[in-house]
Amino acid sequence: MNLPIQVAAHGAVLCITLHHPARRNALTPEMLCRLADAVVAFAADDALRVAVITGSGDQAFCAGGDLARTLPLLTGARPPEDDWDRRVLQEPQVMAASGLRDHPLHKPVIAALNGSCMAAGFELMLGTDIRIAAEHALFGLPEVQRGLLPFAGSMARLPRQVPQALAMELLLTGEPIDAATALRIGLVNRVLPGPQVLPAAMAMAERIAANGPLAVQAVKRTVLGASGQPLAQAYALEDEARRLVLASDDAREGPRAFIEKRPPRYTGR
């Protein structure tokens, strides 16, 4: 089936592809629901350790919310017409999980930004942990230019991820920046030619998936939990993560494998 959200497992790495190329992968209500379902399933599957999110084609990662279907539904200009619409309006988890916003997810997520990353696509990117972008990608939050505002995490997350003055410029003008600028301000980790983006993201995901899963998830959980907290509280979270990880079988297996000069066999216990 040619589904608008395509999911494929490659060992311990899950690749999620936004597949709506005719509309530059703009998010329809169906896509939001299917993306949320994919994120929830990924979080619950112990066999999957890292996710990569990308878009189909070579022009756009995601152009935002579909202006013909999603935005009119959310503003009330269009009544719900099917089960996808009703789920978006009635199930808080759909918007939370599809935006990687306030749904608990301690596994790493890498964005393979194959093209333009705008509006809701930009906000989805902000929920990822590592970002690899194509040289031709553009990044922007144009909502204010349309009388809207970015409500899927950008107002809270962007000033924590880049300097506040730069965040305010992006949020208030709605003007886009190019990939080189995104790299310079620390919004993305790496900029590559378009065909290299997804392979590089998958290779990084595989490297992370080979690490101890308890340690990897504890690092992400602690970093997110400590963000904005006083140092004393942040250190307390770090101490708790240390206690849990050092008591695990994996914490004994890693050093043993290193001494024995063999690959570690992590079980997540």
Count of helices and strands (H, E) across the chain = 12, 10
Tokens of 160: 């924590």
Full strand arrangement of the beta sheet holding 50-55: 5-10, 13-18, 50-55, 109-113, 130-134, 190-192
Partners of residue 17 on adjacent β-strands: 6, 54
Q: Which of 91, 123, 240, 260 is catalytic?
A: 123
Residue with tokens 């690749």: 15
Q: How far apart, in Å, do the first and last CA atoms of the chain sit?
A: 37
Please give the full DSSP string across 97-152, using - where no structure is assigned.
HHTTSSS---S-EEEEE-SEEETHHHHHHHTSSEEEEETT-EEE-GGGGGT---TT
Tell me how crowded residue 92 is: count the other CB atoms within 10 A of its CB.
10
C-beta separation of 52 from 59 below 8 A: no
Q: Which of 91, 143, 206, 253 is catalytic?
A: 143
Name which of 118, 115, 102, 114 is nearest 66 in CA terms: 118
Residue with tokens 């963000």: 227
Active site residue 143: yes
Q: What is the rounded CA–CA span in Å between residue 125 and residue 112?
A: 9
**Catalytic center residues:** 123, 143
